[in-house]
Amino acid sequence: MLAKITKVSAALLLGMTALVSPAKAADQVSLTIVSEFRPLWKRNFNPFLATDRLPTTMQFIYEPLVVFNEMKGGEPTYRLATKHYFSDDLKSLFFELREDVKWSDGTEFTADDVVYSLTQASKGGTADVQGLAGHIQSVHRLGKYKVEIKLKQVNTGIDTQIVRAPIVPRHIFSAVEDITTFENLEPVGTGPFTEIEVFSWQVYTQCRNPHYYDNNNLAIDCLKNPIIQNNRQLLAAAIKGRLDWTSSFIPNIEEVLLSKNASTRYWFPAAGSASFMVNFKTPNVDNRKAFNDINFRRAFSMAMDRKKIVDEAGAGYWSVNEYPSGLGDQFEAWADPAVKANYGKFNTFDINGAQILLSTSGYRDIDGDGFVENPDGSPIKFEILVPKGWSDHIQTVEIGIEGLTKIGINASITTPDFGVLNEQIKSAEFDAAFTNYFAGANPYRYYYTAFHSEQMDKARFGGHHFVDKELDALIDSFNKTAVESERVAIMHQIENFIGSRQITMPVFSSNFNFQYDDVSFKGWFSADNPKAIPVVWPDTPERLLHVLDIEPVSTQ
Q: Place 556 in a pLDDT band, splitting at 50, 70 and 90.
A: low
pLDDT given at position 362: 98
- Output the pTM of the full model: 0.78
Residue 73 has pLDDT above 90, yes or no: no
CA distance 274 to 276: 7
* Phi, psi of 68, rounded to the nearest 5 degrees: -90, 115
Residue 188 has pLDDT above 90, yes or no: yes
Residue 406 has pLDDT above 50, yes or no: yes
CATH of domain 271-509: 3.10.105.10
Q: What is the per-residue burial (b if ≥16 Cβ within 10 Å, else e) of 162-175?
A: bbbbbbbbbebbee
Do 152 and 134 touch, CB atoms closer than 8 A? yes
Q: What digits encode the pLDDT tens for the residues 25-42?
A: 557 899 999 999 999 999
Task: State how beta strands 146-151 and 136-143 pair.
Answer: antiparallel
- What are the CA-CA distances from residue 138 to residues 22, 164, 266, 468 (Å)? 51, 17, 44, 27
CA distance 179 to 49: 9
pLDDT given at position 210: 97
Q: Give domain limits for the chain.
A: 48-174, 193-269+512-552, 271-509
One fold for both 193-269+512-552 and 271-509? no
Q: For the residues 46-71, what does the mean pLDDT come to? A: 95
Averaged pLDDT of the chain: 92
pLDDT given at position 1: 30
Task: Work out the number of other CB atoms within 10 angstroms of the CB of residue 304.
Answer: 29
Weakest mean pLDDT among 228-232, 283-287, 455-459, 473-477: 455-459
Q: For the residues 486-503, what does the mean pLDDT come to? A: 96
What's the residue count for the chain? 556
CATH superfamily of 48-174: Dipeptide-binding Protein; Domain 1 (3.90.76.10)
193-269+512-552, CATH topology level: D-Maltodextrin-Binding Protein; domain 2 (3.40.190)
Q: Place 262 in a pLDDT band, splitting at 50, 70 and 90.
A: confident
Q: What digits encode the pLDDT tens for the residues 414-432?
A: 999 998 999 999 999 999 9
Residue 444 has pLDDT above 80, yes or no: yes
Residue 539 has pLDDT above 70, yes or no: yes
pLDDT given at position 484: 83
Q: What digits encode the pLDDT tens for the residues 367-385?
A: 999 999 999 999 999 999 9
Residue 24 has pLDDT above 70, yes or no: no
* Phi, psi of 544, rounded to the nearest 5 degrees: -65, -45
